[in-house]
Amino acid sequence: MKPIRILIADDEKEIRDLLITYLQRETYKVDAAADGEEALRLFELNRYSLVILDLMMPRIDGIEVCRRMRSTSNVPILMLTAKDQEMDKIIGLSIGADDYMTKPFSIHELVARIKAHMRRFYVLSSDRAAPEETRILFRNLQIDRKTYTATKAGEQIALTAKEFELLAFFASHPGQVFTKTQIFRQVWDSDYIEDDNTVMVHIRKLRMKIEDDASNPKMIQTVWGIGYKFVGDKDED
């Protein structure tokens, strides 16, 4: 298995150095950029397993960098934001960021989240999943865990890694109701949730991609006062 390579993009040298030190201890290969332009240059030259992206950077800001990266790749993107950038967090999630943490952050919590993403990367890169667990069929929706792909009526759906994991989680538990906290724990593999936006924005984006009418969802339904459930007629192979 190739070494896992991570890109850090942050204009604060202290944060870059801190992340490099801790991630290298975890045996990850790390590249670092001080601005958005450099981050995009490195991203074009190398293949990364995860990107840590600061929201506010010189030359090109994190939102635009995220948008450009997402247009060509489904690599997991974790954004770092300041506490007063609530709307920017939502925008970042809406354009394809998988996760975010607010500065100042716990380095141990950040490393834990990165490890959770990397565990999924390892599973995606391996052939260990049992054949009967790799594919889920619902009506005209097909979900393939082994290739991280989903199709609707034979057409591939453009999903980020986190959107796929959210869809696969829902489809693996049809009819079961989950709170936002439960969803976050299962899909983001962490007990640490800052607010509801991460889950809500990803569900909204996922609905726009898999539902015939996102304003009247039939598959991912809201259970008012509790959370969400996945509804569908599962096809049996």
Tell whether the model's pLDDT for residue 217 goes beyond 50: yes
For position 216, what pLDDT does the model report?
92
Confidence band of 113 (pLDDT split at 50, 70, 90): confident
The percent of residues above 70 in pLDDT, for the chain, comes to 86
Tell whether the model's pLDDT for residue 184 goes beyond 60: yes
Across 68-92, average pLDDT: 82
Tell whether the model's pLDDT for residue 237 goes beyond 50: no
Tell whether the model's pLDDT for residue 222 goes beyond 60: yes
Confidence band of 129 (pLDDT split at 50, 70, 90): very low
For position 132, what pLDDT does the model report?
43
SS (H, E, C) the chain: CCCCEEEEECCCHHHHHHHHHHHHHCCCEEEEECCHHHHHHHHHHCCCCEEEEECCCCCCCHHHHHHHHHHHCCCCEEEEEECCCHHHHHHHHHCCCCEEEEECCCHHHHHHHHHHHHHHHHHHHCCCCCHHHHEEEECCEEEECCCCEEEECCEECCCCHHHHHHHHHHHHCCCCEECHHHHHHHHCCCCCCCCCHHHHHHHHHHHHHHCCCCCCCCCEEEECCCEEEECCCECCC
Tell whether the model's pLDDT for residue 163 goes beyond 50: yes
- The answer to which of 31-35, 203-207, 213-217, 229-233 has the lowest mean pLDDT is 229-233
Confidence band of 194 (pLDDT split at 50, 70, 90): low
Tell whether the model's pLDDT for residue 185 goes beyond 80: yes
- The answer to which of 31-40, 42-51, 147-156 has the lowest mean pLDDT is 147-156
Q: To the nearest whole number, what is the mean pLDDT of the chain?
A: 84
